[in-house]
Amino acid sequence: MPRPEKHVFVCTQNRPHGHPRGSCAASGCAEVMNEFMLEIQRRTLFEKIGLTNTGCMGPCGVGPSVLVYPEGVMYGKVGKADVKTIIEQHLLGGTPVEALKMPVEVW
C-alpha cells in the first residue's frame, strides 16, 4: 500500500476454544476486518486508509480491538455495525468515536 493518511490495525488473534484469555477472533474480529475491507473497497479509499491485521495487542477481554494511527486511538468491542461510524466520523471526518474508545486504564 502507499503511505496512508490513516492506518487501521485490526487484531485477528485466535486462541483455542476455552482459553482463559479469550481472543479477538472469539469476539468476532473476522467480521470487523471484512467490513473494513468491504467499505474501503466500496468507497475506493485504498490510498487514504491502510488496513492491516495484527496479532495480540493486549486487551483481549474487551475486543475486537481496532487501533488507528497516527493518532494512536484504540477502540474496543468493535462490531460490524461500528465500522461505518469509525470510517465516516474518524477516518474521513477526523473526529475519533468517543463511545467506542478503550477504557483509559487499558490504553
**Chain positions contacting its own copies, by CB under 8 A:** 1-3, 7, 9, 12, 50, 52-58, 69-72, 74, 107
Which cell goes with 69? 494511527
Instruction: Specify the residue, 18 or 97, whose C-beta has the smaller distance to its own copies.
Output: 97
> Is the Cβ of residue 2 or residue 94 nearer to its own copies in the bound state?
2
Half-sphere exposure of 48 (CA within 13 A, CB side): 13
Cis peptide before 16 (omega within 30 of 0): no
Closer residue to its own copies (CB): 50 or 86: 50
| Nearest CA-CA partner of 86 in 53, 54, 39, 27 | 39
CB of 70 to its own copies, least distance (A): 4
Report the nearest approach of its own copies to the CB of residue 62 (Å): 14
